[in-house]
Amino acid sequence: MTKTREQVFAHLRDTLVELFEIDADKISPDANLYTDLDIDSIDAVDLVLKLKEFTGQKIQPQQFKHVRTVNDVVDAVMAILANVK
């Protein structure tokens, strides 16, 4: 099943709310994970674990190395999903 960007974004937003109780209104595509959403490196490990479940794929840490914003995460997840097929 292919997923659209919108679906990935919505899932990511729900995940961030569930994992870290971040205010959903603050989660915009341009929001910076570190400065705007207060996600630290330890949180990032939890987030990647959740995304691993979501994609059903192994995720290499370097795939998320340059991630800064919510949009970057969506891009990274889209890239992983595109590689599946």
What minimum distance in Å lies between the beta carbon of 80 and other proteins?
21
Rounded to a whole number of angstroms, the minimum distance from the CB of residue 4 to other proteins is 28
Question: CB of 39: closest distance to other proteins in angstroms?
Answer: 9
Nearer to other proteins, 42 or 84 (CB): 42
Kindly tell me which of 20 and 54 has the beta carbon lying closer to other proteins.
20
Please give the residue ranges that form the binding site for other proteins (CB under 8 A): 19-21, 40-46
Instruction: Report the DSSP beta bridge partners of residue 60.
Output: none
Specify which residues 32 forms β-bridges with: 69
> In this complex, which beta carbon is closest to other proteins, that of residue 58 or of residue 65?
65
Q: Let me know how many helices (H) and strands (E) the chain has, helices first.
A: 3, 0
Find out whether 8 and 70 touch, Cβ atoms under 8 Å. Answer: no
Q: How far, CA to CA in Å, does 5 sit from each of 35, 38, 78?
A: 23, 23, 7
